[in-house]
Amino acid sequence: MVGRVVSRSKKPIGAPPGVLVYPGERKAEPVVMRIFKYDSSTVQEDEWTADQLPEKYARGQTATWIDVTGLHDVETLKRIGDAFSIHPLVLEDILTPGQRAKSEEYEGLLVIVLKDVDFDRTSMVVGINQVTIILGDHFIISFRDRPTDLFEPVRERLRNGRGQIRKRGVDYLAYALVDCIVDKYFRQLEAIGEETDELEEAVTGSPDAVTMQRLHALRREMLVFRKAVWPVREAVGALHRSDNPLITRKTAVYFRDVYDHSVQILDIIETLREVLSGMMDLYLSSVSNRMNETMKVLTIIATIFIPLSFIAGVYGMNFQYMPELRMRWAYPAVLGLMIFVGAGMLWYFRRKKWL
């Protein structure tokens, strides 16, 4: 759990700022760059390599979206940075998976860092994939380490020309990408909510050790989810209030809508955390109540046997002169007395509703 909250960096201690070190394992797969060049009437989809950027990208012409998947090739990342004049500190942030969600301005570029979140109900694990979006003049670049279908709805809108996405500038495309990430949070929270409902039924029924493990795992993953999503409100709010010329006033209104969604998401997260905390208390109370019921039954049994043991002890003493020992009906009488005492105590306990 601590390893997922505190990110581990492979950057050497004391290294100068801007040093690029990939924190993950080495991969043989090449970095994939999917390109969309579009205007109001046409869209061109292609795949480039970093070496092709200088000859194929013409700054300031057609709106261009470069979707980069794979961050393991540091040299490729450097070439992209050189082609678009991306500050080395921004490139370092792209390679640092523990970055908080934020939006910053760097030398004519707008940098947006968000988290793509996936909840797996089978393993009860929240997966985090950092997404960095760089908005420039007539271009936008998105960086991800793992291939996902996160932006497929946006690609389909570009291909089909649905809505305003091809009629507006790249700032509107940036909004569409951010909105896609934030909307996905709702789907993941729905899955967590369904898991919470199932756990609630199990806790209020007959909870067992497996229920406790699932409940603890879900509470732990909610902390990971909250850490990833909590700064999103601030980052999107900064985009809405930004006076950066890269974001027009018409597009800023849409970022306001994403901001409202981020507030709703945080409210849902806090509600789910409170529900899970209440369920944990309910589970512990249920276990304690079951233990108390067991102890009550054992105490009643022991209490019933106290007078019976006393009677048996009295008539089990090895004295020579005990008149009852020579009586013909003494043994059945003592047994009857013990049965009467035991039955009387059971009746009394039931009357007091202790049984």
**In the chain, where are the structural domains located?**
21-286, 291-351
Q: Is the pLDDT of residue 11 over 90?
A: no
Look-up of token digits 């009906």? 329
Q: What is the pLDDT of residue 232?
A: 94
Q: Is the pLDDT of residue 114 over 90?
A: yes
For 262-277, how does the pLDDT look when each residue is reduced to its tens digit (9 = 90+)? 999 999 999 999 999 9
Q: Name the phi and psi angles at 215, rounded to 5.
A: -65, -45
List Cα–Cα distances, 169 to 12, 176, 183, in angstroms. Answer: 40, 11, 21
List Cα–Cα distances, 67 to 153, 173, 177, 194, in angstroms. Answer: 14, 12, 11, 33
Instruction: State whether residue 213 is helix, strand or coil.
Output: helix
Q: Is the pLDDT of residue 123 over 80?
A: yes
**What is the distance between the alpha carbons of residues 191 and 210, in angstroms, rounded to a whole number?**
19
Q: What is the pLDDT of residue 264?
A: 96
- Mean pLDDT over 303-318 rounds to 84
Q: Which CATH number fits domain 21-286: 3.40.50.300, 3.40.190.80, 3.30.428.10, 3.30.460.20?
A: 3.30.460.20
291-351: CATH number: 1.20.58
Higher per-residue pLDDT: 332 or 262: 262
| Mean per-residue pLDDT over the chain, rounded | 86
Q: Are strands 139-144 and 125-135 parallel, antiparallel or unpaired?
A: antiparallel
Q: What is the crossing angle of helices 170-204 and 232-241, to 10°? A: 150
Contacts of residue 231, Cβ cutoff 8 Å, sequence gap at least 6: 100, 101, 102
Residue 226's CB is within 10 A of a number of other CB atoms, namely 15
Q: For 336, how many CA atoms within 13 A lie in the half-sphere containing its CB? A: 5
How would you label 279-308 residue by residue, b for 16+ Cβ within 10 Å and e otherwise? Answer: bbeebeebeeeeeeeeeeeeeeeeebeeee
pTM of the entire structure?
A: 0.80
Q: Is the pLDDT of residue 3 over 70?
A: no
Q: What is the pLDDT of residue 18?
A: 63
- Mean pLDDT over 75-93 rounds to 89
Instruction: State whether residue 43 is helix, strand or coil.
Output: strand
In DSSP notation, 118-165 reads EEETTTTEEEEEEEEEEE-SSEEEEEESS--STTHHHHHHHHHT-TTT
Tokens of 49: 């390599």
Q: Is the pLDDT of residue 8 over 70?
A: no
Least confident of 142-156, 251-265, 273-287: 273-287
Q: What is the pLDDT of residue 115?
A: 95
pLDDT band at 157 (very low <50, low <70, confident <90, very high): very high
How far does CA 145 lie from the centroid of its chain? Answer: 19
- Mean pLDDT over 34-63 rounds to 79
Q: What is the pLDDT of residue 7?
A: 54
**What is the distance between the alpha carbons of residues 230 and 100, in angstroms, rounded to a whole number?**
9
Q: What is the pLDDT of residue 244?
A: 87
